[in-house]
Amino acid sequence: MKIGTDGVLLGAWVKVKNKENILDVGTGTGIIAIMAAQRSNALIDAVEIDENACMQASENIASCPWHERIHLEHMSFQDFAKQCKKKYDLIVSNPPFFKNQYRPSEKSRSIARHDDALPLEQLVSDASGLLNPDGSMALIIPSELLSCCEKYLSDKALFITRKLNVMPAPEKPVKRILLEAERSARKVSEDYLAIEKGPRHDYTEMYKELTRDFYLAF
C-alpha cells in the first residue's frame, strides 16, 4: 500500500503531546505509528491484519529512528482487543471505509479499503474499551459517514472535541473529516483545510504548515 494523504493528515493533526501509550489500529505501512513516534515520547502499539502490509510496516518501522518505541502486532483488531490488558491514552485509526462498493481485485488492497474486516461500529466499540478514562480516539472518515460515526461514538459515551473538515481544493466539497473524541463533553473545536489551491500539487499554506515536518519538499 502506498502512503496516502489521509494517513499523513491524521498523523500530523492528532494530538500526541503528553501521551504515554498510543495504539494505531490498521497501521498499513506504519506511517501513523511512525509519525506519532516522531512527534512524542510515547510507547506505540500498531495492529495490522494483512500479512503483506504487516511485513511492509515492519520494514518501515525497523528503518526509522524511533523503532524501539513501536511494537507491531500481526492480527485482527478484534482479536487484539480481546486479549489486550493495556489501556491507551490515544487510539488512532485510518480505518477501511468503503462499504458495499466495487472491490479491487488485489486482496490486500481490498482489506485496506473496505470495512468487511473491521466495521466502523466495531472499531469504535472495541477501541472505547481500551481507552484510559481521560484518553482520546482519533479517526479520519469520509464526510458521508459523519452521522454514523457520531452515533457510534455517542453510543460509547465518547464526545467529539475536535473536527477538521478537509477539501481537495477551496471550491470543492468536504471529502474527509478528522475527528477527535474524548469521555468528557466540551465545545467542539472545528476547522477547515483545503489540500491544494486548485492546480495539481500546488498545496495550500495551511496544508504545508500542518505536514511540513514529514515532507522533504515542504
**pLDDT at res. 55:** 96
Mean pLDDT of 118-143: 96
Hey, what's the cell of 127? 477501541
Mean pLDDT of 64-84: 97
Closest CA to 46 of 59, 60, 30: 30
Angle at 113 (CA atoms; ends 123, 24), nearest 5 degrees: 45
Q: Are 207 and 169 in contact (CB under 8 A)?
A: no
User: Mean of the per-residue pLDDT values for the chain?
Assistant: 91
Cα dihedral 101/102/107/110 (nearest 10): -40
Query: Could you tell me which residues come within 8 angstroms of residue 170 by beta carbon, excluding any fewer than 6 positions away?
Result: 194, 197, 198, 204
Q: Are 63 and 39 in contact (CB under 8 A)?
A: no
Q: Please give the Cα distance from 96 to 92 (Å, whole number).
A: 13
Confidence of residue 96 (pLDDT cuts 50, 70, 90): confident
CA neighbours within 13 Å on the CB side: how many for 142?
A: 10
- pLDDT beyond 50 at 56: yes
Mean pLDDT of 115-134: 90
**pLDDT at res. 200:** 84
- pLDDT beyond 60 at 100: no
Helices (H), the chain: 5-13, 31-39, 51-63, 77-83, 107-113, 120-128, 146-155, 205-211
Q: Are 132 and 160 in contact (CB under 8 A)?
A: no
Domains observed in the chain: 5-211 (3.40.50.150)
Hey, what's the cell of 73? 502486532
28-32, 101-105, 122-126, 158-162: least confident range:
101-105
- Summarize pLDDT for 11-52 with one digit per residue, the tens: 999 999 999 999 999 999 999 999 999 999 999 999 999 999
**pLDDT at res. 104:** 46
Confidence of residue 106 (pLDDT cuts 50, 70, 90): low
**pLDDT at res. 217:** 81
Q: What is the pTM of this model?
A: 0.90
**pLDDT at res. 110:** 43
**pLDDT at res. 116:** 60
Please count the other Cβ atoms lying within 10 Å of the Cβ belonging to residue 214: 16
Q: Are 22 and 52 in contact (CB under 8 A)?
A: no
**pLDDT at res. 112:** 42
**pLDDT at res. 1:** 57
Mean pLDDT of 94-108: 56
Burial of residue 49 (CB within 10 Å: 0-12, 13-18, 19+) is buried
105-142: string of b/e by CB count within 10 Å (b at 16+)? eeeebbbbebbebbbbebbbebbbebbbeebbbbbbbe
- Summarize pLDDT for 153-195 with one digit per residue, the tens: 999 999 999 999 999 999 999 999 999 999 999 999 999 999 9
